[in-house]
Amino acid sequence: MARYKSKSGEWLAIATFPGGYIIGWASKDTCADDAPLGDVKDSSTDREFKISCAAVKPFAVYVIGGDYVFRTKTAARKALAAANLALHTAELGVEWPDWATKALAEGWKAPNGWKP
């Protein structure tokens, strides 16, 4: 899945964190650990933030200080793939079912012509 880039030029990236990895919004001027995804910002009105949080939450093993933490880089990559997919499909106005998002993160390839 291609990396999603917001209109403001930000993208999701993986950063190391004590006890694992986190995913956060990054730009040419900021690092992913400056704006990590997590519960602390659930009151945010930022649509992209809410969509990406919902997509990665099932992959997180625990929450530290409100930030979703992933035990391995592989788990973080799967969560990142799910978030990018969720953001791309939301941009198109299409919502993928949960099972399809999780299957894609696990490496499933949708057949040609398949639509959610």
Specify if 93 maps to a domain. yes
Calculate the average pLDDT of the chain. 83
Specify if 21 maps to a domain. yes
Specify if 69 maps to a domain. yes
Residue percentage of the chain with pLDDT more than 70: 88
**Number of domain units in the chain:** 1
Q: Is the pLDDT reported for residue 76 higher than 70?
A: yes
Q: Is the pLDDT reported for residue 40 higher than 60?
A: no
The whole-number average pLDDT for the span 57-75 is: 90
Specify if 37 maps to a domain. yes
The whole-number average pLDDT for the span 22-41 is: 82
Residue 60 vs residues 30, 44, 69: alpha-carbon distances, Å: 23, 19, 5
**Residue 33, Cβ density class (10 Å: 0-12 exposed, 13-18 middle, ≥19 buried):** middle
Specify if 27 maps to a domain. yes
- H helices present in 47-97, as ranges: 47-56, 73-92
Structural domain containing residue 78? 11-98
Lowest mean pLDDT among 16-25, 28-37, 59-68, 102-111: 102-111
Lowest mean pLDDT among 46-50, 78-82, 94-98: 94-98
The whole-number average pLDDT for the span 18-33 is: 88
